[in-house]
Amino acid sequence: METDTGGAPSRILALRILLDYQQRDVFVGSLLSSALEGSGLDRRDKALVTGLVQGTVRMKLTLDWVLKQFSNRPLESLDPGVIWALRLSAFQLMFMSVPGYAAVDMAATATAEVVGQHAVGFVNAVMRAFSRSYEKIAFPDREEDPAGYLETRYSHPRWVVEMWIRELSFEKAEAICEADNVEPLLSLRANLPRVSRDDLAASLASKGIDVSAGEITPECLKVKGTGPVGDLEEFRGGLFAVQDEGSQLVAHQVGPDPGMKVLDLCAAPGGKANHLAELMGNVGSVVAVDANPARLALVSEAAERLGNTIVSTMEMDARRASAWLDASFERVLLDAPCTGLGTLARRPDARWRKKPEDVDRLVELQSQLLAEAAKVVAPHGLLVYSTCTISHRENAGVVAAFMENVPGFGAEPATLRGCEVMPHLQLFPDTDRCDGMFMAVMRRLH
């Protein structure tokens, strides 16, 4: 349960952002950044707006399930501003320490300002009824309708929870859903060639930032209360990058040595490419490939800030890598495009952007990319396949098909907390407290 101390301006801005999110269909993170920059709100109120917007979007399905019990009109028939005003107010009642009367009053104020006075009466009536009885609303029975229970109780798309129940078990699916609804701490990757993790932690702590060491990688720090990361002198000075701890583990599976020639396919925005360079002590070569020139530029920008001089970029469709590159890379990383179902805790709107048919499309693309990546691995070199999703077909299924159809590769162990894991590694947000990353390591045998 979160504590709330903000006032009307924060709610009004939050409602404007939520309405903008629906009308423009853009990522919540980018909307928040642009709206807060010129808002004039202080740091605490900016944090409140962020929590309100992200939480309301994250819990949208649960909020709608409960709200529909108190509306005499179908929710889908309501004006978008009205439904978002109801969701925003319901979120504060269900998931924040806001008294019922205050939530109703603030709903009226925000609705009048953003939607219009004509909508206030309806919003007031729904929220008064909601505040009196929302705790009595039951979710579908977990025994009779397990997918319906997870869908409505934890605000996840039904197709996702059905897949996780089928592939992992109901209990594991529920644990993942619950973890997805807890906002994670921000993960930083200390740039070890420039600073030790302990020294970076001490520097950040001296600024009043809550800092703790990661549990999976030796570079990771978990932080809270940083404010805009770009404002920190440690960031501007290239002492760290922002990268989820699960994602940090990928470069360790690649395991490059100084002096090696390394290829990172689908590399933008460059977190893994730059981590590889740091693990190599900035000695050797890291070639970062991506088809998107704007995103590829981010790789170079990060390399310059971090001082990674061995990172170079190539604009290219990775499905044609062998047409431009020969089989001379001792390490090849393919961090493939995926459904991103392992990132739902960090990306509140990601759960609503993917469809079941995306899995079919992405499996085909992932298989093409992996087969092409194999063509540029040097003899006895390593090929690492990774995604940030929890989906058997995109992960173990793609690797199994590759091993069956592409000769000359053998499975190698991945490592987690000093232990070897075969034949591949899947992290989960509930047990590993990071993104749900998948990693498979394969060696070219000749």
Active site residues: 388
Query: How large is the angle between the packed helices 271-279 and 293-306, nearest 10 degrees?
Result: 30
Contact 220, 245 (CB under 8 A): yes
Nearest to 59 by CA among 2, 117, 124: 2
Taking residue 281's Cβ as centre, other Cβ atoms within 10 Å add up to: 14
CA-to-CA distance for 150 and 438, rounded, in angstroms? 23
Phi, psi at residue 150, to the nearest 5°? -65, -40
Q: Is the bond leading into 337 cis (omega within 30 degrees of zero)?
A: no
**DSSP assigned state of 376:** T
Q: Which of 386, 388, 2 is nearest to 181 (CA)?
A: 2
**DSSP E strand stretches across 87-176:** none
Helix (H) or strand (E) holding 303: helix 293-306
Inter-helix orientation angle 170-180/158-168, to 10°: 130
Q: Please provide the size of the chain in residues.
A: 446
Among the listed residues 347, 331, 352, the one whose alpha carbon sits nearest the alpha carbon of residue 244: 347
State the burial class of residue 112 (Cβ atoms within 10 Å of its Cβ: 0-12, 13-18, 19+): middle
CB 418 within 8 A of CB 229: no
346: left (phi over 0), alpha (psi -120 to 50) or beta: alpha
Sign of CA dihedral 431, 437, 438, 443: negative
If one counts every other C-beta atom within 10 angstroms of the C-beta of residue 158, the result is 14
Q: Which residues are within 8 A (CB) of 301 and not within 5 positions of it... i.e. 6 or more apart?
A: 270
